[in-house]
Structure 1
Amino acid sequence: MESTQVHTLNLTSVLSVSKKIILTRYWHFVSLSILLFFPLSFSLINISSIIHLFTDDHSNNHKLLITYLLIVYILALCAIGAISYSTHHDFFGEPVKFFDSLKSLTFSFLPITSTAIIAHVIICLISLTFILLVGTILMLVHNLGFVVIDYNSVYFMWFLVIMGVILIAIVLYFYVEWSLAFVVVVVESKWGFAALMRSSYLVKGMRSVSLLVMLYFWGCGVLIVLICSTNMHAIVITTLGSFFFTMFLLRITAANTVLYNYCKALHGELELEVGEGFVHEYMNIPSEN
């Protein structure tokens, strides 16, 4: 295996490999996605109707809404674990059965959940710290009389927009750094801070690819949600939209698993696997420009 083939990996290559893996066992991956990812997709497209259903004047039961959203989130984490498990094994030419993928969750679910909680807490703390810092600076500038701040001015609105863009960039940076964390949990049995740090190490040299994978799938996913949510009274449209969004979730999960293996190869950690029957066709896919 030539290292240059790994170094020249781009978005097209990751998409090609992940698509090839999915197509080789299409119904296996689709079944896992429909079972575990579809509730999340359906909920995102019909979020306004679901919130109204659980919080209208007749029910007024926010606990049911929280419980429902929690179940959907847990199923999504299970989907990530099971699909990552199947993709990783298929990447090495070791296909697994449907129930084997589900069974793998007995070992990976709690570590994945713990890692997700830790990541969310860190992101929330970073966001809160940034907002408090900006607010403190504005308050000091205003109180010390350096600048008279007009909170209704266009300049202040532009300032908020710029600060919002900076915050989004910071959050996006951490999402890129941790994009392989769930795969690390499934494959390496690490969790929490160890999984996040491991992901940050592996993604070095491949951050641009990870970012493009994330922007590509989530950009398309958001577009589907926006289109279908405006036509949510059409059952056929919302159902098809939920299915397509489910497929995007499947693709990004598989793509991150493929990227994980490429990153390991880039760091010289796949030599033993190559000697033991590594599937060369996946690593030798030429880079497309």
Structure 2
Amino acid sequence: MATPSPSLSPPPPVNLWIILSESKRIINAHSRHFLALSVLFLLPLCFSVTVYPSVFRLITDQSSASHNSVSLLRGLHQNDDVDTKTTVLLLIGYIVVVTVFNLLAIGSIAYSVFQGFYGRPVKFISAVKSSVASFLPLLATLISSNFIVLGVFLILGILAFLLTKLIEIIPGVYYSSSYFQGFIIVVTIMSIAITIKLYVNWILAWVVVVVESAWGLTPLKRSNSLVKGMKGVSLSIIFFFASTESILVWISTLAASAQLNDDENGGKLWTNAFFVVQIVITSAFLTLLTLYNLAATTVMYMYCKAVHGELVWEIAEEFAREYVSLPFDDGKVPHLVSVAYNNI
């Protein structure tokens, strides 16, 4: 009796684990390259994110102490101006540093993961050139997306204001009533839901800017088109990295606050060995998470193209080229993608 030939099993649906596994494969295949990029771009970014709450608390505490000591001699208004100016300058500096290094990291790492996915040579100089060339288009896209988000919040704010005025004329309804509190909760939930939906649809926009040389609103529309059918994966990536990175920063902030509260003089915080060690450890783990976040987003871009049938000819063209692959260099050869499409 002849045994039936085994049928080919359908490819598994794309999920967070598959995306992370493919990202790990590419990063491990070019570990020194991604280590250099992480030290150059991601480490300053993550160090700034980790240390900013402590610096802000330290400056605020020192300003408050100085304010209390000289308030009887110089008056209150002058010290308030100095404290406000210091806080604003610190915040502006923090935003500039985080934005610049974040965009440079996206340009270099997305380019490198894209090249590594196809098995092409991944060169450090080319990655740095990509980060510089993509900086302004990424900045324009970031500004466009922020304007849209601010516009949504502005519309919701105007509607909330009008409804609040309407509620004021309704007898028996006050700001402290359960009806008004329920209204505030509903508006807040709507704002969060709309924001999450926008970022789920725009998760690939930054990769589109780097790979397809687009900018402004075009990458947002392109990402929205590619994510169709993969929104569950997009949401899982956002939730996984946002939760892990937030928890890491929160723990670091709590540890630094505990040191500030225990220390009689905040200026001694920087000589505290525990504080320095926890900043170094947190920055290192945050750098690793951010690297995998950027790599996972780029890998998802490739899987989304495969789902929409855009990757077939590109893979064929890659195999039509001449490659020299060593037996121990399997991580650097072109990679075939086989996915199951689930319409979500």
Return the alpha-carbon distance in structure 1 between the equivalents of residues 247 and 156 of structure 2: 29
Unaligned 5+ segments in structure 2 are 1-7, 67-81, 260-274, 320-332
Kindly provide the CA deviation profile for residues 250-286 of structure 1, in whole angstroms up to 9, marking residues without a partner as x.
1111111001011111111112212123666451489
CA contact (8 A) 1:5 1:283 kept: no
AA paired with 2:21? Answer: S
Is it true that 1:271 corresponds to 2:277 in the alignment?
A: no
1:180 maps to which of 201, 204, 207: 204
1:256 maps to which of 293, 297, 314: 297
CA contact (8 A) 2:45 2:98 kept: yes
2:149 maps to which of 120, 123, 142: 123
Is it true that 1:96 corresponds to 2:150 in the alignment?
A: no
CA contact (8 A) 1:21 1:90 kept: yes
1:221 maps to which of 211, 230, 245: 245
Is it true that 1:244 corresponds to 2:285 in the alignment?
A: yes
Partner of 1:202: 226
Return the alpha-carbon distance in structure 1 between the equivalents of residues 223 and 183 of structure 2: 33
Q: Rg larger in 1 or in 2?
A: 2
Cα 1:224–1:158 change in 2 (3 A) is: farther
1:78 shift after superposition: 0.7
Return the alpha-carbon distance in structure 2 between the equivalents of residues 81 and 171 of structure 1: 24
CA contact (8 A) 1:54 1:64 kept: no
Aligned CA-pair RMSD: 2.4
1:181 shift after superposition: 0.5
1:121 shift after superposition: 1.1
AA paired with 2:32? Answer: W
Cα 1:129–1:54 change in 2 (3 A) is: farther
Partner of 2:11: 5
Partner of 2:24: 19
Return the alpha-carbon distance in structure 2 between the equivalents of residues 51 and 24 of structure 1: 40
SS in 1 for 2:318: coil
CA contact (8 A) 1:78 1:105 kept: yes
Return the alpha-carbon distance in structure 1 between the equivalents of residues 27 and 124 of structure 2: 13
1:140 maps to which of 166, 188, 194: 166
Cα 1:181–1:149 change in 2 (3 A) is: same
1:11 shift after superposition: 1.2
Return the alpha-carbon distance in structure 1 between the equivalents of residues 48 and 176 of structure 2: 36
1:141 shift after superposition: 2.6
Percent identity between the two aligned chains = 38
CA contact (8 A) 2:207 2:297 kept: yes
1:248 shift after superposition: 1.2
Is it true that 1:83 corresponds to 2:109 in the alignment?
A: yes
AA paired with 2:234? Answer: S
Is it true that 1:51 corresponds to 2:77 in the alignment?
A: no
Return the alpha-carbon distance in structure 2 between the equivalents of residues 46 and 150 of structure 1: 43
Report the TM-score when normalising by structure 1. Answer: 0.89
AA paired with 2:54? Answer: S
SS in 2 for 1:205: coil
Unaligned 5+ segments in structure 1 are none
Return the alpha-carbon distance in structure 2 between the equivalents of residues 249 and 140 of structure 1: 46
Kindly provide the CA deviation profile for residues 48-86 of structure 1, in whole angstroms up to 9, marking residues without a partner as x.
223346666376433354134212211111101110000
Partner of 1:72: 98
